[in-house]
Copies of this chain bind each other. A is one copy, B any other.
Amino acid sequence: VRVLTLARDLRRRKARERQGLFVAEGVRAVEELVRSPLAIVGVLLAPQLADAPRGAALRASLAARGSELSDVSEREFASAAETEAPQGVLAIGEIPDRSLASLTAGPRLRLLVLDAVQDPGNVGTIVRTAAALGADATVALPGTVDLWNAKVVRSAMGAQFHHPAFAGTWDAVEAFLAAHGIPLWAADANGEPVGTLRAAWRTSSGGGAPGPLALVVGNEGAGLSQLVLARASQRVSIPIAPMIESLNVAVATGILLHELRP
């Protein structure tokens, strides 16, 4: 089966990048893909889908959307799936063509930048959080896990089917920020408390919307790269108890995006 071979191949990042395709696994992720504007180029189904909650309904809505459905055995399905207990459905979708060039740099812009965030579960949760809290885009700098990795797709719960999340170089981000006069704030344990910064920022804007902003967050262990820290106009922290080393990066990103919302 062509779709089976393709799904196996797309487990590798290089194959995803070359083909511009990704895999969404499980009932929840495929439901979200069906609801999204992204193109679906093939669907793999195994017998156990009939027993999964909402499985039969999903099969019907995939058929109604005109997707090519390929039925395979449970064993063949498992050879393509990355999930431990696969629910018997995966869909191959087209990675949307997104970049900084398609962003409008309005006064309420919120841009999230990920600097070498490696855990796929955290990155998926961050994309979901950024979409939920109204960020306009999320840019993954080199060193960050591939945004179309199956584990990221699963933990993002469909958020990146709508929210523009894409890979970008530091040079591209820097050029975009410079061209539009957008300040960059870096999440850093040694920064100023976010509450203090937020209050000062609102005061300086006369109580109005304080303008566009880019926020960069890094790896929990290693922190931000020197290059990024040097370019940031402000370092921002979340005060925490001395016993605790750090917040989870997705939790920290959520708090900062919420505090710094337009």
Interface residues of A (CB under 8 A from B): 121, 125, 128-129, 131-134, 157, 159, 162-163, 238, 240-241, 243-248, 250-255, 258-259
The listed residue (B132, B157, B243, B248) touching A125 by CB distance below 8 A is: B248
Between A132, A157, A238, A252, the greatest number of chain B beta carbons within 10 A of the residue's beta carbon is seen for A132
Copies of this chain: 2
Shortest A84–chain B CB gap in Å is 10
Complex Cα distance, B69 from A77, in Å, reads 45
Complex Cα distance, B128 from A238, in Å, reads 14
Residues of B within 8 A of A128 (CB): 244, 247-248
- Please give me the 6 A-B residue pairs with the lowest Cβ-Cβ distance, nearest first: A251-B254, A132-B240, A132-B244, A162-B243, A255-B258, A125-B248
Contact between A129 and B243 (Cβ–Cβ < 8 Å)? no
Shortest A121–chain B CB gap in Å is 7
Complex Cα distance, B125 from A241, in Å, reads 15
Complex Cα distance, B132 from A163, in Å, reads 30
Contact between A157 and B245 (Cβ–Cβ < 8 Å)? yes
Shortest A123–chain B CB gap in Å is 12
Complex Cα distance, B244 from A246, in Å, reads 27
Q: Decide yes or no: A129 and B241 within 8 Å by CB, A121-B121, A258-B255 being known contacts.
A: no
Residues of B within 8 A of A162 (CB): 243-244
Shortest A156–chain B CB gap in Å is 10
Contact between A247 and B129 (Cβ–Cβ < 8 Å)? yes
Complex Cα distance, B134 from A41, in Å, reads 49
Q: Decide yes or no: A131 and B244 within 8 Å by CB, A255-B255, A258-B238, A258-B255 being known contacts.
A: yes
The listed residue (B131, B241, B255) touching A254 by CB distance below 8 A is: B255
Residues of B within 8 A of A133 (CB): 238, 240-241, 247
Shortest A161–chain B CB gap in Å is 9
Contact between B131 and A251 (Cβ–Cβ < 8 Å)? no
Residues of B within 8 A of A132 (CB): 240-241, 244, 246-247
Contact between B244 and A254 (Cβ–Cβ < 8 Å)? no
Residues of B within 8 A of A134 (CB): 241
Q: Decide yes or no: A241 and B157 within 8 Å by CB, A254-B255, A255-B254, A255-B255 being known contacts.
A: no
